Amino acid sequence: MRTLKFLLRKEFKQIFRDKGLLPLIFIMPMIQLLVMPLAANFDVKNVNVAIVDHDHSTYTQQLVNKIGASGYFRIANYSDSYKEALHLVEHEKADIILEIPQNFERNLIRENNQKVFLAADAINGVKGSIGSAYLTTVLTDFNSDVRLKWVQPQRLGAVSTIGIDYSNWFNPLMDYHKFMVPAILALLVTMVGGFVAALNIVREKEIGTIEQINVTPIKKWEFILGKMIPFWLIGIFDFTLGLLIARFVYGIIPVGSIATLYLFVSVYMIALLGFGLLVSTYSSNQLQAMFVAFFFMMIFILMSGLFSPVENMPQWAKVISNLTPVTHFVEVMRMIVLKGSTFANIKKQFFIEIIFAVVLNSWAIWNYRKTS
Amino acid sequence: MEEKAIICKDLTKQFGDFVAVNKISFEVDSGEIFGFLGANGAGKTTAMRMLCGLSFPSSGEATVAGFNVFNQQEKIKRNIGYMSQKFSLYENLSILENIEFFGGIYGLSDRQLKEKGEELVNTLRLQKEAKKMVGELPLGWKQKLAFSVAIIHKPKIVFLDEPTGGVDPITRRQFWDLIYKAADDGITVFVTTHYMDEAEYCNRISIMVDGRIDALDTPTNLKKQFSAETMNDVFYELARGAKRSDN
Mean pLDDT by 10 residues, chain A (372 residues): 90 90 85 80 78 88 87 87 88 88 84 82 79 85 77 56 73 74 87 88 90 91 92 93 90 90 95 94 92 91 83 88 91 90 92 95 91 81
CATH number of domain containing B27: 3.40.50.300
A and B: number of Cβ contacts within 8 A? 74
DSSP state of B120: H
The answer to whether residues A24 and A52 belong to one domain is: no
Residue A350 CB neighbour total at 10 angstroms: 17
Whole-number pLDDT of residue A267: 96
In a domain, B22, yes or no: yes
Contact B101 A6 (CB under 8 A): yes
The answer to whether residues A76 and A99 belong to one domain is: yes
In a domain, B246, yes or no: no
In a domain, A162, yes or no: no
Average pLDDT, integer, range B176-189: 92
| Residue A366 in contact with partner chain B when CB distance is under 8 A | no
Last residue of a domain, one of A122, A156, A190: A156
Whole-number pLDDT of residue B124: 85
In a domain, A168, yes or no: no
Whole-number pLDDT of residue B1: 44
**Candidate from A6, A214, A215 with C-beta closest to B104:** A6
Sign of CA dihedral B88, B89, B90, B91: negative
Instruction: Please check the confidence at residue B2 and state whether its pLDDT lies above 70.
Output: no
**How does pLDDT run across A232-262, given as a tens digit for each residue?**
999 999 999 999 998 998 888 889 999 999 9
The answer to whether residues A193 and A214 belong to one domain is: yes
Whole-number pLDDT of residue B247: 42
Last residue of a domain, one of A129, A156, A183: A156
Report the percent of chain B where pLDDT is more than 70. 98
Q: A18: which chain B residues are within 8 Å (Cβ-Cβ)?
A: 92
In a domain, B245, yes or no: no
In a domain, A220, yes or no: yes
Q: A13: which chain B residues are within 8 Å (Cβ-Cβ)?
A: 92-93, 97
Contact B53 A215 (CB under 8 A): yes
Q: What residues contact A60, with CB distance under 8 A and at least 6 apart?
A: A53, A100, A104, A105
Average pLDDT, integer, range B183-197: 90
In a domain, A343, yes or no: yes
Residue B216 sits in which domain range? 4-64+72-239
Q: B89: which chain A residues are within 8 Å (Cβ-Cβ)?
A: 209, 212
The answer to whether residues A35 and A79 belong to one domain is: no
The nearest alpha carbon in chain B to A18 belongs to: B92
**Candidate from B77, B86, B104 with C-beta closest to A217:** B77
Query: Domains in chain A: how many in total?
Result: 2
- Per DSSP bridges, beta strands B157-160 and B80-83 are parallel
What's the alpha-carbon Rg for chain B, to the nearest Å? 18
The answer to whether residues A51 and A36 belong to one domain is: no
Angle between helices A286-302 and A258-282 (to 10 degrees): 140
In a domain, A163, yes or no: no
CATH number of domain containing A132: 3.40.1710.10
**Candidate from A3, A6, A214 with C-beta closest to B54:** A214
In a domain, B247, yes or no: no
The answer to whether residues A84 and A232 belong to one domain is: no
**Candidate from B56, B84, B92 with C-beta closest to A208:** B84
What kind and span of H or E run contains B14?
strand B4-15
Contact B90 A2 (CB under 8 A): no
Query: Domains in chain B: how many in total?
Result: 1
The answer to whether residues A57 and A17 belong to one domain is: no
The answer to whether residues A360 and A272 belong to one domain is: yes
Mean pLDDT of chain B: 88
Residue A193 sits in which domain range? 2-40+173-367
The answer to whether residues A238 and A257 belong to one domain is: yes
Q: B90: which chain A residues are within 8 Å (Cβ-Cβ)?
A: 10, 14, 209
Whole-number pLDDT of residue A68: 86
The answer to whether residues A227 and A289 belong to one domain is: yes
The answer to whether residues A232 and A354 belong to one domain is: yes
Average pLDDT, integer, range B38-65: 90
Contact B89 A209 (CB under 8 A): yes
The answer to whether residues A227 and A278 belong to one domain is: yes
In a domain, A164, yes or no: no
In a domain, B177, yes or no: yes
